[in-house]
Structure formats: C-alpha cells, structure tokens
C-alpha cells in the first residue's frame, strides 16, 4: 500500500501543539523535583491548604449550579423552536468571548457589594465564565435523544415531566456529565474575574498570583504544581469515568 | 353496526413539507383500520395528530363522543408505535414492555405476570433480559407491539409496522398479527403504503393521496371500486381510458370498447394490467373486447413483465409472465392481440 504522506505531514504539524501543551507542564514538574523541600513545605502550609480547599469547593458548587439551571435550558433549546431561539443560543456563548477581567468588572458593577470579596463572588465569577459548557452539552445530549421515544412514553401514559426524567434525562446523562466536568475544570482554572470580584477569601488561583508578586517564582511554583496535579487528576478521572459510562450505555 | 370509537373531523395541518387537508374518518371498535397511501403524503402527521403529539391547525379528534383535540397524549391513552419502533435503548426488553404499567402504578407482581403473559403470546419471553439494540428487526417490532398491548389501550396507532423488515419476516409477522388480534383483541389504526398489508390485515381502508383522505370503505370495496381515477391509478389500475359512451359502448380514438354497464357522455374507465391477455391469434370469445395492438416497449419487473402496447389511438399496459414473454416473442414492434373482459373494466 502506498504511504499517505499528506497525513504524516499533517500529523507532524499538529504535534507542535501537543508538545506545546505538554512541555510547560513537564518542565514545571522537572524543576520542582529539584526543589523537593519547598514542595513539602508548601504542602504543609495552612494558607495554601485552605486556598486549595476553597477552589475545589467553589468550582464544585459552580458545576452543580450550572447543572441545576443548564439542564432545563438545554432541554428547551433541544426540544422547542421559539422566536429568538438563536439569540438565546448566542447569549449562552457570549461568556466565552468576553475577556475575563471585563467579566469581573461587569459583575462588580452590577452586583457590587453583594458579591464583593465573598464566596458568592467567587462562584458568581466562575459560573459566568463556565456555564456555557454545561448548557451546550446538555442541549447536544437531548438533541441526540430521538424525540419519538418521549412521544411513545407519553402515549403510554407518562406526563411530559415523567418522560423527561424516565427517558430523555438518563439517555442524555453521559453528555450532561461531560459538560459538567468541563464546567468544573473551567471554574477551577478561572482567575481573571475572581481577582477583581473576590480577591478574598483567597482561592488557590489567586494565591499563586499573590505569592508570585510577593515572593517570586520559587514560592509560587509549588502551589502551581499542586494545583495542576489536582486539576489534572480529577479532570482526567472524571472524563475517563464519563467516557466509560457513555460507552457502556451506548 | 358497531359504534364509532374514534372520529377525526375536518382535520387540517401544515407541518414541515406535509399538508393534511380536511381529513374526516371514523374508526369502529375492534376494527383494524388501514390508512393507505404513497410515502410522503402526511400519513404519519395524521397518526401523530390522533395520538396527541401534534396539534391540528383546525378540526377535531373525538373519542367515544368526547372532544379530545386539546388533551395531551397521556390523557388520550392511544399507544403510538412509530416506524422505527422507538424502543427505550437504556432499558431491557422487560422494562420496555413494563413501562406503561409502571406509569400506571400497577403492583410489581401484576406487572411481572402481565408482561410475561403478553410476551408469551408475542413469542418474546426468551428476550426479556436483553437490550433492544441486540434484537433483530422482527424481534424489535414484537417488543414494540407487546409494550403497546400490555396496557390494553383502547386504540393502537401503528406507523408502517412492517416497513423495516425483510420480506420473509414481514410475511410471517403479518400472519401473526392476525393471531395476536384474535387472542388479545384490539382496535388499530395502521398506516402503510403496502397493498399486501392492507388486504391481509385491514377491515376498512382510507386511501390518502396528496394530504387528503380520498376514499374510505371496506377493503374489497375500495380495491374493486375506486371512487376516482386518482385512486384507481394508485390502486393499480394502470390503464385509464377516456372516451364517449353511449349505451354499453365506449368510443375512443377509433376503438369501440364494450362496457360492463350502460353509460353516456364523456367517461373514463380503469383496467388493471393483469386483466389484459395477450395472444398471437384472436381468441374469438364474444364476452371479450379484443384489439390488434403493436408492442411499444417492454419493461422487466422481476417475475413479471410490463408490456406497453398501442391499439389504434389507445395505449394499453399489460402484465405478462416472463415465460409468456419468451413464448409470444414479445419485443418492440411485435403485433399481437390484446383482449380483456368487459367486466374487468371499472367505470368511474
């Protein structure tokens, strides 16, 4: 068989991007390995621990809120045509294109002291920048469920709500779950808007910046390493679980 | 006469590319009512309006004397079986069949008993633990029917129930459906484009063409006496001949055709291609119309051959078997005798 050189060439080009992602992560681990003492010290730093706990709790809360409101919205977008639907779709995607510092300013201007420097503020900022993932993947998940299944369920006596919980939701769940994982990961990685809305209570993202400004690279790097390890482990585990589950359902 | 269970009154609906216009029909208790029409005339739309899935633009759906037009599907209780069967893929066959009973809050043991009972009649009791995607088309169809019948609905709505099956399975299941109906008793509206299904299962049929229900009646009546040229053409009267009648004679472009009944003025008659006999020599039978004809074209359709002939100014289409084609040496330009009984003609 003749080799397909076009594909090889394209693969070589694409490798650049993959390497570009892996290189900084790997470098950071390698550098940190030569500074083991600092990592251990950071791991025992109560300020760091509290900050990481705050990040995990707020990101998880954000994902749950996104699910609560995003799943119903996704269902409506998948099932109903209404005037202004494409407008709503566009609005859902808006947070992705707004600079995150601008998000912070907008939230502060709108809700001012009600969210300033509070957990509410952290979650508000995280939710704004990350809920699109949940809404969009819930919508795609429901779109992939044949509407006839719900129709049949209803002719068999199920109310619309019952058909939703019994048929549409379980079938769209793998999609919804992977959207929620994306929302969670996006929330974990948010910093720009949180800096403006809620510098305190300090999340790990902000703490890294503070240590960098006050004590330099050597002090901030261990927190970054811990943060990225946690994020990657949780993100990859969830993704793997969702993927396995989706295949089992499929 | 049995009472009307369901009446559809002047229903119209524009939906995507389909348009239903002023559809009126009624279905009696225990009846197997066929809606017969070519694909894409809006038969499914009509079924979904009856089920309550789509609202009609105008008109009413009346069930046992009560207007249900604004009732949601779950309040009507007619069970819908779409063409793809729509089995719930995330549930086992048992849970699929049990779904309607579970919704109704039937006790667990009773569900178990009734599911097994209906599964046995439909021959799917060995599949109850399987997931739908592991089933063959015929098995899926049985599960869909079991899921519908187990709740003992007043009416089931079937959309092309045999269309996705191979020829052998289809033949077997059509036969079995008659048995299921005897054993379980149900009223059905059955949408199809297949004459075979209509004739072997239907009590009455509504012929649907271009969004209208153009003729409703007993199966034999509709097939032998189509009410219009359009219905006749759809039901296989490939020859429609127009001429001027006087008494029992019809004059068409120089031909004189004997009619089965007296008529006058400009009329049209229909003739099925299988009722035309082709022969080398005249048959000399008094009861027949017989004409000299020239073969214009020959079209092979598997076991049958469609021969288009020209007799005087009239084009005739006839079916012959492949062996007669060879025997008679039928090819373009061949001269033959075409004959048909006056009683085979249908006057519109």
Shared-domain flag, residues B27 and B144: yes
CATH code of the domain containing B76: 3.40.50.300
Q: How far is A158 from chain B (nearest CA, A)?
A: 6
B36 within a domain of the structure (yes/no): yes
Q: Round to whole Å and give the CA distance between A248 and B93.
A: 17
Please give the pLDDT value at position B224. Answer: 80
User: Does residue A236 have a pLDDT over 80?
Assistant: yes
Contact A155 B90 (CB under 8 A): no
CATH code of the domain containing B304: 2.40.50.100
Which residues of B are less than 8 Å from A152 in CB distance?
79-82, 86
CATH code of the domain containing A59: 1.10.3720.10
Shared-domain flag, residues B78 and B207: yes
Please give the pLDDT value at position B236. Answer: 83
Please give the pLDDT value at position B16. Answer: 84
Which residues of A are less than 8 Å from B78 in CB distance?
155
Q: Round to whole Å and give the CA distance between B47 and A249.
A: 31
Total domains present in chain A: 1
Helix (H, G, I), strand (E, B) or coil at B151: coil
A9 within a domain of the structure (yes/no): no
Please give the pLDDT value at position B342. Answer: 87
B54 within a domain of the structure (yes/no): yes
Beta bridge partners of B181: none
Shared-domain flag, residues B165 and B245: no
A5 within a domain of the structure (yes/no): no
Shared-domain flag, residues B157 and B282: no
Contact A155 B88 (CB under 8 A): no
Shared-domain flag, residues B301 and B244: yes
Which residues of A are less than 8 Å from B148 in CB distance?
156
Q: Which range of residues forms the domain containing residue B20?
A: 4-231
Q: What is the largest CA-CA distance in chain B?
A: 77
Q: Round to whole Å and give the CA distance between B210 and B218.
A: 21
CB atoms within 10 A of CB B213: 23
pLDDT band at B252 (very low <50, low <70, confident <90, very high): confident
User: Which residue in A has a C-alpha nearest to residue B133's C-alpha?
Assistant: A250
Contact B89 A159 (CB under 8 A): no
A222 within a domain of the structure (yes/no): no
Nearest to A156 among B53, B82, B103 (CB): B103
Shared-domain flag, residues B86 and B213: yes
Tokens of B211: 């969004």
B348 within a domain of the structure (yes/no): no
Q: Round to whole Å and give the CA distance between B305 and B209.
A: 27
Length of chain A: 250
B302 within a domain of the structure (yes/no): yes
Q: So what's the ipTM on this one?
A: 0.83
Domain end marker among B207, B231, B255 = B231
Report the percent of chain A where pLDDT is more than 70.
98
Residue of B61, B87, B90, B104 to mutate, interface with A, max A Cβ within 10 Å: B90
Who has greater pLDDT, B275 or A149? A149
B266 within a domain of the structure (yes/no): yes
Please give the pLDDT value at position B286. Answer: 63
Contact A153 B88 (CB under 8 A): yes
Q: How far is A77 from chain B (nearest CA, A)?
A: 18
Please give the pLDDT value at position B238. Answer: 85
A155 within a domain of the structure (yes/no): yes
Least confident of A190-204, B150-164, B294-308: B294-308
Shared-domain flag, residues B181 and B143: yes
Q: Which range of residues forms the domain containing residue A72?
A: 54-203
Who has greater pLDDT, B16 or A95? A95
B95 within a domain of the structure (yes/no): yes
Decide if A103 contacts A129 (C-beta within 8 A). Answer: yes
Residue of A155, A161, A173 to mutate, interface with B, max B Cβ within 10 Å: A155
Who has greater pLDDT, B105 or B302? B105
Shared-domain flag, residues B84 and B153: yes
Shared-domain flag, residues B330 and B222: no
B76 within a domain of the structure (yes/no): yes
Q: How far is B165 from chain A (nearest CA, A)?
A: 19
Q: How far is A90 from chain B (nearest CA, A)?
A: 25
pTM of the model as a whole: 0.84
Shared-domain flag, residues B49 and B167: yes
User: Does residue B40 have a pLDDT over 90?
Assistant: no
Helix (H, G, I), strand (E, B) or coil at B294: strand
Interval B184-189 mean pLDDT: 90
Nearest to A155 among B78, B88, B89 (CB): B78
CB atoms within 10 A of CB B15: 16
Q: Round to whole Å and give the CA distance between B16 and B20.
A: 11
Q: What is the pLDDT of residues A84-94, one digit of tens each?
A: 999 999 999 99
User: Does residue A66 have a pLDDT over 50?
Assistant: yes
Domain end marker among B231, B255, B276 = B231
Across chain A, what does the average pLDDT equal? 93
Who has greater pLDDT, B180 or B35? B35
Interval A160-168 mean pLDDT: 96
Which residues of B are less than 8 Å from A166 in CB distance?
99
A60 within a domain of the structure (yes/no): yes
Please give the pLDDT value at position A165. Answer: 96
Q: Round to whole Å and give the CA distance between A180 and B158.
A: 39
Please give the pLDDT value at position B323. Answer: 87
Helices A85-97 and A46-79: angle between axes, nearest 10 degrees: 160
User: Does residue B1 have a pLDDT over 50?
Assistant: no
Task: Count Cβ neighbours within 10 Å for each residue of A183-206 and write b for 16 or more, e otherwise.
Answer: bbbbbbbbbbbbbbbbbeebbbbb
B112 within a domain of the structure (yes/no): yes
Decide if A159 contacts A46 (C-beta within 8 A). Answer: no
Total domains present in chain B: 2
A110 burial (CB, 10 Å; 0-12 / 13-18 / 19+) is exposed
Q: What is the pLDDT of residues A94-127, one digit of tens each?
A: 998 999 999 999 999 999 889 999 999 999 999 9
Domain end marker among B192, B216, B231 = B231
Shared-domain flag, residues B220 and B265: no
């Amino acid at each position: 068989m003749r080799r397909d050189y076009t594909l090889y060439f394209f693969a070589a080009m694409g490798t650049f991007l993959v390497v570009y992602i892996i290189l900084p992560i790997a470098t950071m681990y390698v550098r940190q390995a030569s500074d083991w003492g600092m990592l251990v010290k950071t791991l025992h730093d109560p300020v760091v621990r509290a900050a990481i706990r705050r990040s995990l709790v707020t990101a998880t809360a954000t994902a749950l809120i996104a699910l609560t409101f995003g799943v119903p919205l996704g269902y409506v977008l998948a099932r109903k045509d209404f005037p202004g639907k494409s407008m709503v779709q566009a609005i859902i995607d808006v947070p992705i294109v707004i600079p995150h510092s601008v998000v912070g300013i907008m939230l502060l201007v709108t809700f001012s002291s009600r969210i300033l420097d509070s957990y509410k503020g952290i979650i508000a900022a995280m939710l704004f920048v990350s809920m699109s993932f949940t809404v969009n993947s819930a919508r795609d998940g429901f779109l992939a469920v044949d509407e006839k299944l719900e129709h049949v369920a209803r002719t068999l006596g199920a109310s619309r709500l019952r058909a939703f919980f019994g048929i549409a939701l379980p079938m769209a769940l793998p999609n919804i779950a992977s959207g929620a994982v994306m929302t969670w990961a996006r929330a974990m990685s948010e910093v720009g808007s949180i800096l403006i809305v809620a510098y305190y209570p300090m999340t790990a993202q902000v703490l890294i910046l503070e240590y960098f400004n006050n004590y330099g690279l050597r002090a901030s790097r261990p927190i970054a390493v811990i943060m990225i390890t946690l994020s990657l482990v949780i993100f990859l585990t969830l993704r793997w679980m969702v993927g396995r589950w989706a295949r089992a359902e499929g | 006469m049995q009472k009307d269970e369901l009446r559809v009154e002047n229903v119209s609906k524009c939906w995507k590319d389909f348009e239903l216009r002023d559809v009126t029909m009624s279905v009696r208790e225990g009846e197997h009512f066929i809606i017969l029409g070519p694909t894409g005339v809006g038969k499914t739309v009509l079924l979904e309006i009856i089920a309550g899935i789509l609202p009609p633009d105008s008109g009413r759906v009346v069930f046992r004397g009560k207007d249900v037009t604004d009732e949601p599907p779950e309040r009507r209780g007619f069970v819908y079986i779409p063409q793809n069967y729509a089995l719930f893929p995330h549930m086992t066959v048992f849970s699929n069949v049990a779904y309607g009973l579970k919704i109704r809050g039937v006790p667990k043991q009773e569900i178990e008993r009734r599911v097994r009972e209906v599964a046995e009649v439909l021959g799917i009791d060995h599949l109850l633990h399987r997931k739908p995607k592991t089933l063959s088309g015929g098995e899926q169809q049985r599960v869909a029917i079991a899921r519908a019948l187990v709740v003992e609905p007043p009416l089931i709505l079937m959309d092309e129930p045999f269309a996705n099956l191979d020829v052998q399975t289809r033949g077997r299941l059509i036969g079995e459906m008659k048995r299921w109906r005897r054993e379980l008793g149900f009223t059905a509206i059955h949408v199809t484009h297949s004459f075979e299904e209509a004739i072997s299962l239907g009590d009455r049929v509504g012929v649907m063409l271009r969004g209208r229900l153009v003729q409703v009646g007993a199966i034999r009546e509709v097939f032998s006496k189509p009410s219009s040229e359009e219905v006749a053409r759809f039901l296989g009267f490939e020859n429609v001949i127009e001429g001027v009648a006087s008494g029992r004679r019809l004059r068409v472009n120089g031909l004189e055709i004997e009619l089965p009944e007296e008529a006058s003025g400009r009329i049209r008659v229909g003739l099925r291609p299988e009722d035309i006999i082709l022969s080398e020599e005249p048959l000399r039978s008094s009861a027949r119309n017989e004409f000299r004809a020239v073969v214009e074209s020959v079209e092979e359709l598997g076991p049958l051959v469609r021969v288009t002939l020209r007799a005087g100014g009239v084009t005739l289409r006839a079916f012959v078997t492949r062996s007669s084609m060879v025997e008679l040496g039928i090819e373009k330009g061949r001269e033959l005798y075409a004959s048909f009984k006056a009683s085979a003609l249908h006057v519109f």
